[in-house]
Copies of this chain bind each other. A is one copy, B any other.
Amino acid sequence: MSDHKRPASAASPIHDLISHRWSPRAFDGRAVEPEKLRSLFEAARWAASSYNAQPWSFIVATKDDPENYKKVLSSFVEFNQSWAKSAPVVAISVAAHKMPHDGSQNRHAFHDVGQAAATLALEATSLGLQVHQMAGIIPDKAREVFGIPENFEAVAGIALGYPGDPMTLPEGRLRDNETGKRERKPASEFVFTGKWGQVSPIVK
């Protein structure tokens, strides 16, 4: 098991769970304990959502269930398949577009799936696991493969497991991405007050 940490170079103190969460592509092959997997989805369960609609679902498979694992992998774009196939667990998140209480459109469906996914990723960090989320999936393929019904939509891919050695990744961009400094724009570019673009004194 590798112990490849890349804590955020935070400009202000933040909780360790948050600074240590990142999105690696190198996984150790060993299986994730079922009780840890349960805790990950339990954490997602307690995320906040508009009207408590909980619009998230997850279609998940572990490598010891090769048929279902392959089905999840097949709904990732090829590039993501190339590295995600080393993860012992893969999943697809799905959003419910209708509000359960009145059938209206849930404007925050993707937003709240994001909250559940972020919560799952932080729980993973707390258990020594890592999560790499992928925008690069083929939603129509997922719909077909899993029979995702109308008014639901595949959102993102998830690869998860224990940290692996970045040197197991192919040389080049993939490996380089794992070792450089993690980058974010400064808070002054996105925390405003009074009007759009006016930097809040909080982050000055």
A interface, CB within 8 angstroms of B = 8, 10-15, 17-19, 21-23, 34-35, 37-39, 41-43, 45-48, 50-52, 54, 56-62, 65, 67-68, 71, 107-119, 121-123, 126, 133, 135, 146-149, 152, 155-156, 182-185, 187, 190-196, 200-203
Q: List 7 A-B pairs, minimum CB-CB distance, nearest first.
A: A114-B114, A50-B135, A111-B114, A115-B118, A110-B110, A12-B42, A118-B118
Given A38-B12, A41-B191, is A46 in contact with B60 using a C-beta cutoff of 8 Å? no
Tell me if A135 and B41 are in contact (CB < 8 A): no
A64 CB to closest chain B CB (Å) equals 11
- This chain's copy number in the assembly: 2
Tell me if B203 and A67 are in contact (CB < 8 A): no
Bound form: Cα–Cα A195–B182 in Å: 36
Given A108-B110, A147-B196, is A57 in contact with B191 using a C-beta cutoff of 8 Å? yes
Tell me if A193 and B61 are in contact (CB < 8 A): yes
Given A45-B187, A148-B196, is A39 in contact with B60 using a C-beta cutoff of 8 Å? no
Given A48-B21, A187-B41, is A196 in contact with B59 using a C-beta cutoff of 8 Å? yes
A116 CB to closest chain B CB (Å) equals 8
Given A42-B10, A42-B14, A119-B118, is A48 in contact with B133 using a C-beta cutoff of 8 Å? yes
**CB-nearest residue of chain B to A202:** B37
B contact residues around A67 at 8 Å (CB) = 194
B contact residues around A115 at 8 Å (CB) = 114-115, 117-118
Specify which of B156, B192, B196 is in contact with A111 (CB 8 Å cutoff). Answer: B156
- 6 contacts across the A-B interface (CB closer than 8 A): A10-B45, A13-B39, A45-B184, A52-B183, A71-B194, A114-B115
